[in-house]
Each structure stands twice: as structure tokens, then as C-alpha cells.
Structure 1
Amino acid sequence: MALVAGALPGVSADAATPASGSVSDTAPTTTWSGGPFAVPNVSGTTGTVSCGDPQLCDDYALKVTVPTGYDTGHSLRIDIKWPDSAADFDLYVLDSSGHVVAASASSSDPETVLLPAVTASYTVRVVPYAPLGDGFTGTAGLVTDPADPPPSTATPPTYADSSAPDSIADAHNAGEPSIGVDRATGAAMFQAYTSTLKVTYDGAGTATWQDKSANAAGGCPQGSLTSLDPILFTDPATHRTFESQLAGKTALTCYTDDDGETWTPTGGSGINSGVDHQTIGGGPFAPGGPGALTSYPDAVYYCSQDIADASCAVSRDGGLTYGPAVPMYSLLDCGGLHGHVKVAPDGTVYVPNKGCGGNQAVAVSEDNGLTWTVRKNPSSTPGDSDPSVGVGAGGTVYMGYQSSDGTARIAVSHDKGRTWLYDQNVGAALGIKNIVFPAVTAGDDNRAAFAFLGTTTGGDYQDTAGFKGVWHLYVATTYDGGQSWVTVDATPTDPVQRGSICTGGTTCGQDRNLLDFIDVTLDAQGRVLVAYADGCTGACATGGAQNYDALASIARQSSGNTLYGAYDAMVAGKHKKTEGGR
């Protein structure tokens, strides 16, 4: 769904019933309704919402009156909901000047935004994107923010950054990067569009980047074709790396067992796989059901989104062929887009989703992908970036997500997503107001890392004209099972973006250079490696204008305890940036 940034001048809209309302610290809630609507308003798919006959919108004037300082510990929460889950409405909040200050334009029901609880006047605009004859109910209320535990007292780890040299074809075309590590050789495998890159580190931490792309010369003629969604996965137990390019309702997939020296073509995906947001993962088979058909011991999962649902298919022969794709959920349960599939040591499969009935959730399979259950985190609110999960050695699940207010939150489950603990904002101590692209990994059961791009600037980070934030790569780490986290800036002297970052898909302009996600993984010693696209290079990195790059980059842990306690204190000291620079 389209997200609109900046002002929306010169548009007309219908009035809600009632047309206006107010909230205060003594009267904290107000409600209204609108519709029914018969005509969809999809004008936002072109980049700007318009509100006029026949493409109507619905406006509600909201006044907030609170004492000075009330926003410390309180937020303004606005929800819209409707009867038919198959319908879809979008929510925008405009300030007194007509600028969008918050938006929720996903496929979630309800749509939710969170704003600081300050005295202000707003226009709450509801757009019937796909109303199906429905109306909606709106609620605005002042809510108490959940209290976060104190940050971890652990020594913060540090990170050294390296980037692909310009001699690599897709060095500057690495939006939506993915990463895996062959724990037998230590090589990091990095996907940048249709290029697969091999990154090795010497004893001093210096990185060497090589192009090992899947192509006809290496045995994979379909590997370097134009892709709708590239993805890479390395199985940490078998050391096999899969490289896949999305092509409609199929995937052009190959694998390598020798870090890209040779490649083997595969069937790619199951029938009837989806058209968007592909992901590949793998791990042990769950006990009690059919397992491997060949000597390859692990299951391989291919998941993707279609128009009305999202599905996963499982391979029992090492990724050569896949069974039929099984729906994980429909649009009546969750929004179509999902995060990356992860497999627990006991074979439980997790696929996270940013919007399932007003919460973020995981789709879970405990029978090797035959059936799926959606399990929500009730403390969460929907976000604009896909959430991510990491699974510890004992099965503890860590789900990192972008909340409705843009902040970085993570929660922990010890029962496969049925209940969640320690949900907290891990960016508060550093003043981080907005994040995108959550990515989570875990090692020992009580250790995990949560990477994301973040900025200390609040407001609508998708306002192309008005947002002036500076973004960095951050990594939060827990050593006590998610009860507390220590968060560090992994690119403290080198911003990865200046200004807006658009997560609205094809409606975005040039500020979609980073696309939709980053990735994180571990090496054999538990070092954290974060794959990201650096969008601010050259003069931009030292204060110049944003240049909208997408340079293939890795932040590799260079000091501090790793995510495997057995290797504590073995990580070398700080290393400088190498190869290609930024």
C-alpha cells in the first residue's frame, strides 16, 4: 500500500461522524466513524493521495490538550478498524499545516499510528483503499508507554566495516542484501542483486571481496538473470549456500557447496508459489514426520507471497525439488508481506509478519511445513518494515520489529510464539526515534543480536521533502536472554543515508535506493556480521548531499563477547574499513 510523504494540499475530503473531537489528560479517548464506501481510492499508488469525487477520503479534526512534559511516558494512539478483514483502509495524520506526520498504509486491520502526546491539532485522514462497501470506526486515545528495563551493563561490542570494491559489477547495486557464512571455511557469502560475492577475512580482520556469482560458466545459467527479488541463504550446519532470483510465480535457484566455485541448478520453488517477497531458509526436520529423502540431512524451505495469501514449500532432497506450496495464512489473518523464514534446532519453522489483526506475529509450523499457526505478540503494534526472528540454540525465539511509532522493539518467546516476554525499546538509550529493516540472529540460547538502520530524528521518515534525519547502522545485543540489551552505533562516523527512506514499494522515488531489508548472521565463533547497503557514499559521507547509493557493505564484529559463550574474549581488536571504502 502507498505511503504518502509531505503535504497534501488542495484536496477535498468528506467529514467523519462526528466531524471533530478532542482528547486530554482528563478525557483521554474519543471515537468516530465514516462510510460506508463503495469506490476504492487507490490514488496513493501513484505517489500522492487525492481526495475528490469519486475517490473520496474521510477527515476527522482531532485536538489534543495535555500538560507540558506529558509526552514523557505517554503517547497518542490512533486506530481505525472495519468489519470485513478482506477490505483495506489507510490512515494518515496531518498537522495543522497539512503535512503528513504519521501514516499507516499497510494491509493490517486495524491500522495504527503512535505519536508523541503533546498539545496539537491534527487532521486524521482515512483513505478507503479497498473498502468493499465497508465503513470504519476510529479511536484516538492517550496511552501510557510501557516501561523499558534498564539497558544492559555488558561491555558494548564494536564493529569494523568493509565494502565491495568498484571492480565488482553489482558493488553499488546491493539494495536488499542477504548474507550467510560457510562455517567450515569462514567465508561470508553476500547477495547483491544478481551477484553473489565471497568475502574472506585475514587474521587482522581485513576483508577481501570476490565475485563468485551463479552463472552459466559456473553451472547455473539462470543465476544471473534479472530478478524481482534476490535472496541468499547459507545453512550453518551443512555449509550449502542457496542463491535465488524471483521470476513471477517461480524462482531461479542454484546452490553451491564450495563457496561459489561451482553451482548446481534446482527446481527453485514449489507449486503454487507466490509472486513476491521470496525467502529461503533451512534447518533440521521436526521429529515424527517424513524427513530427508537423500543424504542431505536438513529441510529447505521456500516461502513467498501471492495475491490472497502467503505460502511455504519444503524440499526433502537438499533444495533440488520442492513439494507443493502450503498457505501459511490468508489476507483475512495477516498482511501479505512477510519477513525471512528461520528454522529452530528442533525443526520448528518461523515466518514473521508485520501486521496480523493489529499486532506483529509469527507464522509457525511444527510439522515440517504441513500446517501453520499464526501467533501474535499482543504487546506489539504494526509497522512498515518486515519484522525478523532469530532462534537460539535451545529454541528461544527473539522477534525484532519496528513499532507503529517507528522505534526499535524486540520481544522473546520460550514457547514457540504462544507468549512473549521483555518487549522493549532497544534504541531509547541512544535517542533513536525511527528505524527500518529489522534483522535478528541468535547463538547461545541467551544471546542474540538485533540490527537495524536508525535515526535520532523523529517524525515521518518517509517525507521526501521534509525529513532531514541522518541514518546509521545500529546493533543491539543481549547476553541475558533478552531481559536487557546493549545497543551500539556500528557506523558512528559514516552515515548510511541522509534524509528520507521510503518503504512504500513501487510508489517510492529515488529514496528507495535501499529497498526493503538488510540481513544479519554469525560465523563459527559467534561473531555478528551485518549485511547492509550503504546509501550515503563519497561526499555524502562527510556532510555532502545524499547520493542514493546502495554499496554492498558488511559490519563485522571486531571486539566484545560474541553470541557463543565458548568463544568469549577471542575476538580481535578494532579493525579499519577495508576494500572499496565509502
Structure 2
Amino acid sequence: MRPRRHHSHARRVLGVASAVVLAAALLGNGGSASASSPSEGSVSDSSRTVSWTGGPFVAPNTTGTALDAPDCTAPQSCDDFTLHVSTPAGYGDTHALKVDVTWPQTAADFDVYVLDAAGNTVGQAASSADPEQVVLPPTAGTYTVRVVPFLPLGQSYSAEATLVDTPVPPPPGTATPPGFTTYPAPTALGADVNNAGEPSIGSSWKTGATMYQAYLSTYKVTFDDSVSPAKASWSDVSATAAKGCPQGGLTSLDPILFTDHATGRTFESQLSGVDSLTCYTDDDGQTWQPSTGGGIPSGVDHQTIGGGPYSPDGVGALPTSAYPHAVYYCSQDIATAFCAASHDGGTTFGPGVPTYSLLDCGGLHGHVKVAPDGTAYVPNKACGSNAAVVVSKDNGASWTVHRVPGSSPSDADPSVGVGANGTVYFGYVGSDGKPAVAVSHDQGSTWSAPQTVGADLGVKNAVFPAMVAGDDDRATLAYLGTTKAGNYQSQTDFKDAEWHLYLASTYDGGKTWVSVDATPNDPVQRGSICTGGTTCGNDRNLLDFIDVTVDRTGHVEVGFADGCIDACVTDTTHNSNDGPADAQAAYATIVRQSSGLGLFSSYDPKANLTLAKQSVVKLKGKFVATSTVANTGRARATDIVVRMSDGQAVVGRTTLTALAAGRQTTVTFSWKATSGTHTFTGSVDPGNLIAESDEADNKLVTTGRGRWPHRARH
């Protein structure tokens, strides 16, 4: 198996050497840091806030990214504050302890670790956000808040610990949770199937093919829905020189894949350190065409490709080739992020346009998404004290940062999904480790209050949120979650953690969400998951994200790397920290929706009401009709009207409360018999008030003269 690559995605954007030079220039020779002032303080239910400061700092301390806690043996390498918490029993049911650390110059970077009385790290914030924020249960005790000058640039910090009210999560939705089936890639595809950290997934609505990127390999997956669950067929369709992509399969620091649903064009991009080695295919990987890769200038890290319709209000709104959609290439540089637009289907790209700088946002951005109206969205995990979206309404000519109020920064890249009429769903993980969603109806200008999801299933920590939408009122958030609370990056404390793939879906525009554990019997990871960058230990096997898409009939499909395979699935002693290879895997896997409501209502399971049998007899001067009503569809039907007519006269009518899919029942009508020839018509749902998969089989006709019963016919 090819060894797992050195991956470029790190949480830092400034070199340590340059930080030291800048710090010296700011402080002059011989500058020194100060201890926290004051050195200790208290919070309680009656006095909720305490503040302190520290610094200035010159020397960077970068040891914390590879360890549970940083090395603080060098002078002035860490700054400690003793925090006393006094709260009554049950206080944590409605409150949390929030620690915020901020500094004046956004380009600098400090980390925060919270240790309990025994010295265990119970919480940490080690991203590039400003402020850094840790949210913990407000358990009574004495804690050490350790501030670490990762890249201090001569800055001082200000800190605050506060006991805050926590909103009560809304009740979960009442919809039946959808069901999912897991499809691991066949081992016959080669070594890359177990080297699939941070995969990408896309769906062509033209051909029905699902495209999956795993490192240098591109897979095509087709699903046969004539059987249940669907049967998957995988094939390797990687971009190679023989297929028209000279730069394909050579090297990669970051892989990314994007499939335009409407056109079926798929892009395969491999970060090269300056730009990207990129090709595209219009035939699901049978042949590939080369691309210039991205715009100049472009970033050195964490590229993303996306595309969609042009905005009618922007410059360059007309394509320069037959390809109808705009294509965007976005990436990050040392201090600025860039997005470049292509107007010839991704063959060439225009210049990179700055989207934000370190004065606006820190941290890495997520994947670019384009709405049906042409608005482009790039989510960012840390723009000041909130997560945010960076929005372009003019085909990439300019970009605006819109923060999501109520959200908080974390180590996880957020994700955007856009509905058919432009509703934006923003999925993220907050500084409390919980997954949440906010909704916008005005292109990201304003947002609903974020709503935590997964609480009904006991999720305490989450990573890798991935958002997708279909109809405007339907969306799904996928993420890896665990029911274990605490510091999920601690290799010692989280050895016994078990992570699963969770999905939260809304069918009412984000008012309520229904959650499901899609891998209840097969953990995706045992142990900790490191999101701190390239210097992590063995628990960074999954790398930095997962991906989600929707197929043309509304099935949700999640592409992820399975970190726990073979013996790890059942052996709880195997873990990502010091366990065998089966607990440090990155196996290419898809979870696909197999039941329940999808993201397109037009493909919802429907009832199908029909009269399976009907007979009419003459008994003691009366006609007696017996009809068997069947539901041969895939959904329950309610308030079902059944009617019987003798010629033009309605002689019987009743309403059935409900009839489940695959069930049948019998109804009987009787009325005064008369002589002559009769035509008896039984009808179910005669007013066509119930949506059915077949509206043509709702009647059954019986004719007769003299003796009954007679044969019925539809």
C-alpha cells in the first residue's frame, strides 16, 4: 500500500521564522513577556465573569500541535491563569463555561488549553481563529487556563471566562428518519482505496453516475435501484496521460473533485504547491481534458473547485465557450485567499481575486458552492468571533464577508448547501464541539439563530460537517460524531471514544431536524481525531473533511474515509492512537440513502390505492357489494374515500382512516335491489386528493343482469 502522503493542509499560515523577525521589529531587542495579570480569579452562579491579560510575547511556541498539551519548559513559552469555578449541582443543564482569548493583530496566533486540577487537558482551541474560544461544562473545581503564544508577533492577549446560558435545543423533527446503506470500495481497485483521507464526491444528473476522489484515484460508482438496497458497481476511471490528462496521477498535496450536477462535467484537481494539476471529464472518466488548474495569483493550500449558473447581475456574465456555467477555483495563500473564475468551462481561469485577508478571517475555508441564481459561497470557520460565508454576487469579480451571528469558530471547516430556490444552509461545528445549522433566505446577509443538531442522539463532539440541499425546504448535514464528551483531540483521554457517521435532515426549511446514526454497527473511528494540522500523530488518518452530494432522484450520498476496518470494528481495544493499522485506516466508503424521504419531494415514496377485488350479490332484496381496497405503493395513505355507484347513482360511501403500504382491507355496501341490467362502479380516492404513483387503477366495474356475482373489470 502506498504510504499516506504528507498533506499540505495545516492550520497555520505564517512561518515561525518570519514571526520571530516581525516580533523583534515590533518589540526591539530584549523584549520580554509578562505573567498573566491577575494570576487567578473566580466565577460562580452569582458572579459569572472574570478577565485577565498577558504579554507581550516574542518567542513562538509551536509544540502544542503534536502533543495533547504544549511543552511549557522554556521560559515565557506558556502563560497560566488559575480559574476557580463554583457552581451548584445541575447548573450545567442550562449553562456552560466559555473562555475567550483575543489579541489586537489578527495575523498573530495564540492557543488556549484548559487543564483540570489533575493536569488533564479538558478543552483546547488551537486553530488560527481570533478570538480562540473554549466551551466546557461548568463543573465546579479549579482549572488552569493556559495561553500559548503559537505565533505571537510581539502581541499581548486579553482573556475572559464567563458562565453563559445555553439555549435549549428545539425538539427533533417528527419525520421518520431516513435509512442508509454502506458501500465500501472493492479491494480490487488497488491501494488507494485505503488511502482515501478527505475524499470528495459528486453526482452527475445527466448519467446518474457518482464520482468519488481518493488521493490520486477517481472512481465511478453506479447504483442499481431495481433491488433494495441498491447494488453498487465501482470502477477506476482515474485521470491519466493515456486518457488525455498528461498531469494526472503524478503527485498531490490535496485532492479535490467537483461534479456539476446539470452538465455532468467532473473536475479532478491535485494541489501542486503553487497552483493545481487539474483535468476534467464529460463522460464520467472515460476520457479527460487538461485545465490550467486555477488562476494567478492563487493560494498554496486547501484548494476547492465549484461551479454553476452565471449571475445575471455580474460582470463577465456570458461564457466564452459552449459550456453554460461558471467554474471557480479558490485557495489560500499566506495572508490572503483567492478565487479565480473560468468562463470557458474550466479550461482556463482568469486572475485570482482576493476574497478575504487575515484582517477579515483566519483559518481555512471550506468548499465553494454556487446557487441556482449564480451566487457563489465560500464558508470560513473563523471570521472574528463567528464562522462566516464569503459571498460573490457578480460572478467572482468581488467578494463580501457575511458572519453568521450566534456561531463560533472551531477547527472544523464549515459547509454550505443551497436549495433549489436559493435558501442557504450553513452547517458547522461550534467551539463547544456540537454540530449546528443556520439558515439564510437573503444570500447570506442575515441568518436564523443557529440550531444544534444531534442532541437527541447524544452527540457530544463532532468533526467534518458537510452540507447538501435539494428542494428549497430540504437539506442534510453529514458529520462524524461521538457521544463522548471532553477534548476529542486528547490521545490519552479519548482512547475509548467511538465515532460514527451521523446525518441530520430537515424537510421544513430548517425549522426542525431529524437525526440518524448511519453506521450504528460499524464505527468510523475508535480513539481521538486530530484536527490540528500536519504535525498530528496517528489519529489524523482521516485528514480534514468528508463530502456529501445528492443524486438526481434525491438520494443523499456521503463520501468518507472509514478509519476503523476489519478487526477494529468489533475489538474495542483497537484505537487510532496506538492501535494496529486496522484502527488507523482511511478506506474509501460511500453511505447512500436507502429509505425515507429524499431531498426532492417529486421522488417521495407514494401510496398507490387500487381495488384489488370486487363482487356484487343480490341478497334478500338488496344488492351487497364487497370491495377489497389495497395499497400497493411505498407510502402510507390516510383519509381514503371509497365509493360505490349503481349506474349514475352513488349508493355507498365511506372513509378509511389509513392504510399502510402493502396492506389491504375490505369494505361492504348494501342498497335496495332493482331489476334490469346494472353497472356497479367501485372507486377509491374518486376526487384524486391523494398523490399516488399510479392514478389510473382506482376504479373497478362490475356488470350484471339477473344473477350475481359477475366478473369485475378495471
Same fold, TM-score > 0.5, yes or no: yes
Distance 1:174 1:95 in 2: 36
Distance 1:506 1:151 in 2: 37
Distance 1:18 1:516 in 2: 38
CA contact (8 A) 1:386 1:437 kept: yes
| Aligned alpha-carbon RMSD (Å) | 1.6
Q: Which amino acid aligns with 2:524?
A: V
The answer for the alignment partner of 2:699 in structure 1 is none
- Greater Cα shift, 544-553 or 519-528: 544-553
Distance 1:292 1:159 in 2: 39
Q: Which amino acid aligns with 2:41?
A: G
| The one of 508, 523, 528 aligned to 2:536 | 508
Q: Does 1:230 align with 2:252?
A: no
Distance 2:289 2:58 in 1: 51
CA contact (8 A) 1:269 1:322 kept: yes
CA contact (8 A) 1:81 1:109 kept: yes
Instruction: Give the C-alpha shift of residue 336 in structure 1.
Output: 3.8
| The one of 307, 324, 328 aligned to 2:334 | 307
Distance 1:498 1:130 in 2: 32
Instruction: Give the C-alpha shift of residue 543 in structure 1.
Output: 2.5
Unmatched runs of 5 consecutive residues or more in structure 2: 1-9, 13-32, 576-582, 607-632, 636-714
The answer for the alignment partner of 2:613 in structure 1 is none
| The one of 10, 34, 42 aligned to 2:54 | 34
CA contact (8 A) 2:11 2:364 kept: no
Instruction: Give the C-alpha shift of residue 506 in structure 1.
Output: 0.9
**SS at structure 1 position matched to 2:43:** strand
CA contact (8 A) 2:406 2:449 kept: no
The answer for the alignment partner of 1:193 in structure 2 is 215
Q: Which amino acid aligns with 1:86?
A: A
The answer for the alignment partner of 1:156 in structure 2 is 177
Instruction: Give the C-alpha shift of residue 85 in structure 1.
Output: 1.7
Instruction: Give the C-alpha shift of residue 42 in structure 1.
Output: 2.3
Q: Does 1:102 align with 2:127?
A: no
Any residues of structure 2 matched to 1:130-145 within 5 Å, and which? Answer: 130-145=151-166
The answer for the alignment partner of 1:368 in structure 2 is 395
The answer for the alignment partner of 2:427 in structure 1 is 400
Distance 1:173 1:371 in 2: 37
Instruction: Give the C-alpha shift of residue 31 in structure 1.
Output: 0.5
CA contact (8 A) 2:387 2:408 kept: yes
Q: Does 1:439 align with 2:479?
A: no
Distance 1:42 1:119 in 2: 31
| The one of 205, 223, 244 aligned to 1:219 | 244
The answer for the alignment partner of 1:182 in structure 2 is 204
User: C-alpha deviations, 1:175-212, integer Å up to 9, x for none?
Assistant: 00100011122110000000000111112201111111
- Greater Cα shift, 368-377 or 282-291: 282-291
CA contact (8 A) 2:34 2:55 kept: no
Q: Describe the shift of the 1:81–1:494 C-alpha distance in structure 2 as closer, same or farther (beyond 3 A).
A: same
| The one of 489, 498, 515 aligned to 1:487 | 515
CA contact (8 A) 1:422 1:482 kept: no
Q: Describe the shift of the 1:500–1:14 C-alpha distance in structure 2 as closer, same or farther (beyond 3 A).
A: farther
Instruction: Give the C-alpha shift of residue 45 in structure 1.
Output: 4.7
Q: Describe the shift of the 1:306–1:140 C-alpha distance in structure 2 as closer, same or farther (beyond 3 A).
A: same
Q: Which amino acid aligns with 2:142?
A: S
Instruction: Give the C-alpha shift of residue 55 in structure 1.
Output: 5.0
TM-score (norm: length of structure 1): 0.95
Any residues of structure 2 matched to 1:201-280 within 5 Å, and which? Answer: 201-202=223-224, 203-204=226-227, 205-280=230-305
**SS at structure 2 position matched to 1:405:** coil
CA contact (8 A) 1:40 1:55 kept: no
The answer for the alignment partner of 2:598 in structure 1 is 562
Q: Describe the shift of the 1:372–1:560 C-alpha distance in structure 2 as closer, same or farther (beyond 3 A).
A: same
- Greater Cα shift, 317-326 or 113-122: 113-122
Instruction: Give the C-alpha shift of residue 14 in structure 1.
Output: 6.7
Any residues of structure 2 matched to 1:484-563 within 5 Å, and which? Answer: 484-544=512-572, 545-546=574-575, 547-563=583-599
**SS at structure 2 position matched to 1:483:** coil
Instruction: Give the C-alpha shift of residue 218 in structure 1.
Output: 1.2
Instruction: Give the C-alpha shift of residue 427 in structure 1.
Output: 1.0
CA contact (8 A) 1:199 1:207 kept: yes
- Greater Cα shift, 562-571 or 182-191: 562-571
The answer for the alignment partner of 1:317 in structure 2 is 344
- Greater Cα shift, 421-430 or 51-60: 51-60
User: C-alpha deviations, 1:116-165, integer Å up to 9, x for none?
Assistant: 11112110000112222211111001000123221100111000110111
The answer for the alignment partner of 1:286 in structure 2 is 311
| The one of 473, 486, 495 aligned to 2:501 | 473
Q: Which amino acid aligns with 1:95?
A: D
Instruction: Give the C-alpha shift of residue 221 in structure 1.
Output: 2.2
**SS at structure 2 position matched to 1:337:** strand
The answer for the alignment partner of 1:7 in structure 2 is none
| The one of 108, 112, 119 aligned to 1:91 | 112
The answer for the alignment partner of 1:72 in structure 2 is 93
| The one of 72, 97, 102 aligned to 1:51 | 72
The answer for the alignment partner of 1:421 in structure 2 is 448
Q: Which amino acid aligns with 1:271?
A: I
Q: Describe the shift of the 1:549–1:285 C-alpha distance in structure 2 as closer, same or farther (beyond 3 A).
A: same
CA contact (8 A) 1:2 1:507 kept: no
Q: Which amino acid aligns with 1:361?
A: A
| The one of 194, 212, 215 aligned to 1:172 | 194
Distance 1:415 1:52 in 2: 51
Instruction: Give the C-alpha shift of residue 572 in structure 1.
Output: 8.2
Distance 2:297 2:412 in 1: 26
The answer for the alignment partner of 1:460 in structure 2 is 487
**SS at structure 2 position matched to 1:507:** coil
How many aligned residue pairs are there?
Answer: 564
CA contact (8 A) 2:386 2:405 kept: yes
Distance 1:474 1:461 in 2: 17
Instruction: Give the C-alpha shift of residue 53 in structure 1.
Output: 3.7
CA contact (8 A) 2:83 2:144 kept: yes
- Greater Cα shift, 40-49 or 476-485: 40-49
Instruction: Give the C-alpha shift of residue 461 in structure 1.
Output: 0.6
Distance 2:634 2:195 in 1: 31
The answer for the alignment partner of 1:384 in structure 2 is 411
Distance 1:540 1:132 in 2: 44
- Greater Cα shift, 524-533 or 99-108: 99-108
User: C-alpha deviations, 1:334-382, integer Å up to 9, x for none?
Assistant: 1141100000111111000111101000011111111111100110111
Instruction: Give the C-alpha shift of residue 84 in structure 1.
Output: 1.6
Return the index of the structure with the highest Cα Rg. Answer: 2
**SS at structure 1 position matched to 2:39:** strand
Instruction: Give the C-alpha shift of residue 325 in structure 1.
Output: 0.6
**SS at structure 1 position matched to 2:321:** coil
User: C-alpha deviations, 1:386-410, integer Å up to 9, x for none?
Assistant: 0000000111100010110101111
Q: Describe the shift of the 1:534–1:525 C-alpha distance in structure 2 as closer, same or farther (beyond 3 A).
A: same
Instruction: Give the C-alpha shift of residue 54 in structure 1.
Output: 4.6
CA contact (8 A) 1:392 1:443 kept: yes
- Greater Cα shift, 446-455 or 195-204: 195-204
Distance 1:189 1:424 in 2: 31
Higher relative contact order (CA 8 A, sep 6+): 1
**SS at structure 2 position matched to 1:16:** coil
**SS at structure 1 position matched to 2:439:** strand
Q: Which amino acid aligns with 2:157?
A: F
Instruction: Give the C-alpha shift of residue 423 in structure 1.
Output: 1.2
